[in-house]
């Protein structure tokens, strides 16, 4: 593989599948014209997307602070259903219609890395702010800033119980409060250096001591972050090679973030995870080393790490491999984009994702959802995938419209001729990469019966094995 510019639709399809949620009709040609390198640079510097903003304008609570959401809830408890529906709907609309595809994929990636759970009490009211204020602004910024913003956001402090993490205090002859090591452990294990970095149970406790006192002001009214000095353990700490002197108060945790965000183990952990999401389930070690090197050299500049990833031979070589199985979100979004669908109501789309095992924002454990494509292959999910594609082509996904005739005509095909229709979809959706067996099977649909040829051909191709990988 020499340079992306010299390569054809296959490489552009690959790029659109890895940097985003797959091509919309016409997009493969458009990116070929613009040039993949310039398209990547566009994605690394997201521009305003007024068309998307217009689509999102029907979700007014997206901009609400946690306090506003709580006020709404306190006035009418039913309102939280609306708030969460708007929040989760926006994710689908952004994935399907947003121009800054890489940004949306990265928001998904980093939210998942720093996962919180929508059904966890207070997080119902704060999750929208969490993604908007702690994750989204930093996905092409510095890891250090992302880590601090997420770790001290009330949604995370609640999810990992740090709002209850306090120095034990003696009141009379009773001890109240005490260390809660939940967030301290996950900060090391999942958010920064990774479970194999060599830290000990003592490091978990010391990290938790740094985090004492960082909590939430009032869970039912303001829901704001607060540091309570009286709950903070102000003695000195030793965390995984970092010495924190006594008396640091709320700065202890900032020292800890500095230490962990610049640790080589964190660079490797993050580099490997990005490689797994964007390149291969088992990312090439050489790539991981290089990305980790960029991470360390640039002070954790995530834009530079992504630039290096898209400049890597390993990423481009994957365009000629067997492909990486899509997660349910990747599959559903790519089918909607490929079909040129317009998403009005999202209820049916979200229900499908839940049946496939990926309810939006509802991953209970702090690991987040798996980035390994192979983990999502199973017969049940496969059946839901095929049925989603067949339903979409037949116009039977509630709230979503897709015109398979326009799709086929847009590719220069005849919607009434199976082979011509299949070849048109191959051009527009698959960059002419369909396997001969898939193309041949779709070309064999009968021309009689009550279900139109165009519906059957489009349904089969969107349900095909070729559509399951990216």
Which residues bind to another protein, rule: CB under 8 A?
Answer: 161, 164-166, 168, 176-182, 185, 189, 195, 201, 204, 322-323, 325, 355, 357-358, 364-365, 367, 370, 374-383, 386-387, 390-391, 396, 435, 437-438, 440-442, 444-446, 449-451, 456, 459-460, 463-466, 468-469
Contact 262, 193 (CB under 8 A): no
Least separation in angstroms between CB 173 and another protein? 13
Cβ closest to another protein, residue 306 vs residue 390: 390
Backbone angles phi, psi at 400, to 5 degrees: -125, 135
Q: How far is the CB of 465 from another protein (least distance, A)?
A: 4
Q: How far is the CB of 71 from another protein (least distance, A)?
A: 25
Q: How far is the CB of 454 from another protein (least distance, A)?
A: 13
Residue 52 vs 216, nearer CB to another protein: 216
Closer by beta carbon to another protein, 58 or else 169: 169
Q: Is 337 within 8 Å of 470 (Cβ atoms)?
A: no
Residue 332 · residue 108 · CB < 8 Å: no
To the nearest whole angstrom, how small is the minimum distance from the Cβ of residue 221 to another protein? 20
Are the C-beta atoms of 194 and 171 separated by less than 8 Å? no
Minimum distance from residue 179 beta carbon to another protein (Å): 6
Closest CB to another protein among residues 39, 388: 388
Least distance in angstroms from the C-beta of 41 to another protein: 33
Query: What angle do helix axes 264-278 and 285-297 make, rounded to 10 degrees?
Result: 130
The answer to whether 328 and 376 are in contact (CB under 8 A) is yes
- For another protein, give the closer residue by CB, 165 or 276: 165
Which is closer to another protein, CB of 48 or CB of 446? Answer: 446
In whole angstroms, what is the distance from residue 3 CA to residue 217 CA?
53
Query: Tokens 């183990």 belong to which residue?
Result: 265
Q: In angstroms, what is the minimal distance from the CB of 386 to another protein?
A: 6
At 446, list the tokens.
């009968």
φ/ψ (deg, to 5) at 304: -70, -35
Q: Which is nearer to another protein, 258 or 281 (CB)?
A: 281
Q: Which of 446, 430, 326 is nearest to 388 (CA)?
A: 326
CA distances from 7 to 37, 399, 410, 453 (A): 11, 38, 23, 33
Decide whether 102 or 453 has the Cβ nearer to another protein. Answer: 453
Query: What would the DSSP string read from start to end of 408-422?
Result: HHHTT--TTSHHHHH
Specify the DSSP class assigned to residue 99: S
In the complex with another protein, the residue whose CB is nearer, 350 or 456, is: 456
Min dist CB 264 to another protein, Å, is 20
Q: Which residue's entry shows tokens 């389930």?
A: 281
Burial letters 243-272, b for 16+ CB under 10 A, else e = ebeeebeeebbebbbebbbbbebbbbbbbb
Q: Are 160 and 189 in contact (CB under 8 A)?
A: no
């Amino acid at each position: 593989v020499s340079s992306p510019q010299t390569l054809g639709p296959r490489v552009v399809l690959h790029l659109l599948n890895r940097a985003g949620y797959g091509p919309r009709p016409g997009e493969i040609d458009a990116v070929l014209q613009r040039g993949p390198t310039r398209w990547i640079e566009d994605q690394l510097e997201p521009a305003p997307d007024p068309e998307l903003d217009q689509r999102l304008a029907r979700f007014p609570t997206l901009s609400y602070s946690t306090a506003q959401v709580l006020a709404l809830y306190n006035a009418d408890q039913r309102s939280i259903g609306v708030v969460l529906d708007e929040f989760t709907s926006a994710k689908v609309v952004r994935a399907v219609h947003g121009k800054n595809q890489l940004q949306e994929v990265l928001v998904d990636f980093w939210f998942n890395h720093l996962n919180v759970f929508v059904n966890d009490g207070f997080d119902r009211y704060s999750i929208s702010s969490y993604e908007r204020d702690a994750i989204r602004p930093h996905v092409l910024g510095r890891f250090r800033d992302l880590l601090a913003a997420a770790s001290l956001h009330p949604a995370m402090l609640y999810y990992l119980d740090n709002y209850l993490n306090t120095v034990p205090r003696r009141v009379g002859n009773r001890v109240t409060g005490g260390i809660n090591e939940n967030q301290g452990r996950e900060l090391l294990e999942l958010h920064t250096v990774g479970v194999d970095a060599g830290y000990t149970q003592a490091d978990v406790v010391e990290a938790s001591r740094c985090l004492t006192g960082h909590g939430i002001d009032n869970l039912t009214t303001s829901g704001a972050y607060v540091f309570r000095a009286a709950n903070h353990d102000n003695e000195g700490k030793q965390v995984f090679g970092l010495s924190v002197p006594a008396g640091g108060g709320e700065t202890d945790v900032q020292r800890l973030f500095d230490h962990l965000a610049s640790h080589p183990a964190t660079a490797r952990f993050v580099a490997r995870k990005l490689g797994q999401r964007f390149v291969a389930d088992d990312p090439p070690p050489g790539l991981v080393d290089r990305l980790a090197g960029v991470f360390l050299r640039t002070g954790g500049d995530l834009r530079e790490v992504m630039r290096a990833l898209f400049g890597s031979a390993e990423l481009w070589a994957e365009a000629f491999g067997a492909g990486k199985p899509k997660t349910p979100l990747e599959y559903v979004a790519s089918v909607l984009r490929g079909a040129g669908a317009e998403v009005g109501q999202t209820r049916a789309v979200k229900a499908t994702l839940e049946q496939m095992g990926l309810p939006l924002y509802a991953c209970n454990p702090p690991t987040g959802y798996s980035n390994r494509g192979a983990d999502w292959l199973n017969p049940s999910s496969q059946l839901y995938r095929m049925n989603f594609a067949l339903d979409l082509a037949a116009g039977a996904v509630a709230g979503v419209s897709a015109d398979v005739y326009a799709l086929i005509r847009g590719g220069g095909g005849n919607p009434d001729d199976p082979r011509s229709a299949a070849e048109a979809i191959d051009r527009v959706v698959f960059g002419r990469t369909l396997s001969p067996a898939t193309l041949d099977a779709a070309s064999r649909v009968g021309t009689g019966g009550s279900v139109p040829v165009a519906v059957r051909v489009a349904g089969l191709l969107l349900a095909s094995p070729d559509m399951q990988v990216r």
